[in-house]
Amino acid sequence: MRHLRKTKLHSVRWIVLALLIGCCVNSWASSRSQAYNLPLPRTTGTPEELVARVSVGPLKRDLRIIVRIRNGEIAGTISPYGAQARQGPAVYTIPIPASAAQGDDVLLLVEVEQKGAETRPPTAQEVQGIKLAYVPVTQSETK
């Protein structure tokens, strides 16, 4: 009995520690990125794939915008090629994995990486908006 109580106490400690780490990670992530909670446009049809259409403005050289899904996995990276593309505005299509949707929403975490600077959330001029859309796609045997 005493052994069982000790094991339970041990488990509780681990859970508390995990929660604390989770809070710290969330806080760290939120200071580095901007969260976009986006409603799914509609119920998906078949076959089609979910994409994010990210509208960007002028972007400095050596700067890229990384789009992550809720679990931190990279969905795609906006890395404008050439001076004209950097001048913006332009829209970039980012593939969004089906696993990113929870209920009727998709949470995207968007961060800006620039050489020699800390990762930070984008400004309103850099990322002017994000919308979700469906793209009709072909099917394969593996899907």
Which residues are at the interface with another protein (CB under 8 A)? 45, 47-49, 51, 53, 55, 57, 61, 64, 66, 74-85, 89-95, 113, 128-129, 131, 135-142
Name the minimum Å distance from CB 18 to another protein: 25
Residue 5 or 143 having the CB closest to another protein: 143
Residue 17 or 95 having the CB closest to another protein: 95
Cα 95 from Cα 107, distance rounded (Å): 14
Q: What is the DSSP-derived secondary structure letter of residue 116? A: T
Cα 96 to its chain centre, rounded Å, is: 9
Residue 87 or 102 having the CB closest to another protein: 87
Residue 24: in which H helix or E strand, if any? helix 2-32
Neighbours of 130 (CB within 10 A): 20
Residue 95: in which H helix or E strand, if any? strand 90-95
Cα 76 from Cα 93, distance rounded (Å): 9
32, 119 Cβ separation under 8 angstroms: yes
Residue 94 or 109 having the CB closest to another protein: 94
Name the minimum Å distance from CB 1 to another protein: 49
Residue 23 or 39 having the CB closest to another protein: 39
Name the minimum Å distance from CB 63 to another protein: 10
Neighbours of 104 (CB within 10 A): 11
